[in-house]
Structure 1
């Protein structure tokens, strides 16, 4: 009975690998992992569990593909388009809710006119990308730039990040149509998880780093360090995360530049993070290819 439980838990860990890889090699891996020497053990060894998860991330990033660098680049671009749109939708939804909370109920038509078209079209483009409807997504992401601007100048004149989201995403979505035939679309579940991870990185309370209260600042620093550590642990195995996250930091940078914000305090840090992620992706990819 304990062997069956152990095997089931190893199978759960093997879900970090792509479905086609599991179909071909899951039984072979389980024969190695679940042996007679396992005895009454009911849980995988921590070192094996970590190795399996990291191995699955590497395979998803293309380590088992014929052209790993090409696989990594093009799937990273697909995920970057998803992440940028998802972040734009999150910001747009938050601003819409906030607008209704602070007086928007007195003029709901004006709020919907200023914020609604961008939110609806960006969300539709995001859903189309998740479903793999690339051509529909291209039309929707272009519409998410033009239609809201034609209906209301509010987002454009204020350089809001949700206005920049489809602008940044458009070349990424179009580039996805040019991917080589041997590079498949990212699995839907994996795409959702990666996108959620990148968006979560932006939810870290970085504003707390400027607080005067030492306790609040310490908590903000701790949260930022933990979030960055977790993200980089996954990203060192799956560099697609770095490619996906890099353009998301352009949204805040472009907003601050357009409204003439604090370049040193606001723009440069976000720009530096985006550039650093790209550099890390290049360095880690070159190191991985050198070991192949």
Structure 2
């Protein structure tokens, strides 16, 4: 294949961190050169843009396991927050009619349910996830 094409690929791979290039650079160059069309002298604009974009994302740590854990933790916190908000809203909506005519001994616990749901909601919203 063309040494000029390989040089251009190496230049584009500079967007990746040096440690990443040391570990995977030769394999990436080999794959890119194998996928190149016969007589190709330069990478396509799409291919060049993709290499640079993925290199910058790798530098930013977008694909790291730490980033995935943070995303999962954030999604879980949001789900808990929404669940607590729903529980507090339903409990509060049922609170008035129950207080007017308590029918069973368990209905006396409804105010506690509302209080705990609201306290959990406030704790999670304030960042106290374990307490919430």
User: Which of the five TM-score ranges fits, normalised by the shorter chain?
Assistant: 0.3 to 0.5
Structure 1 length normalisation: TM-score?
0.22
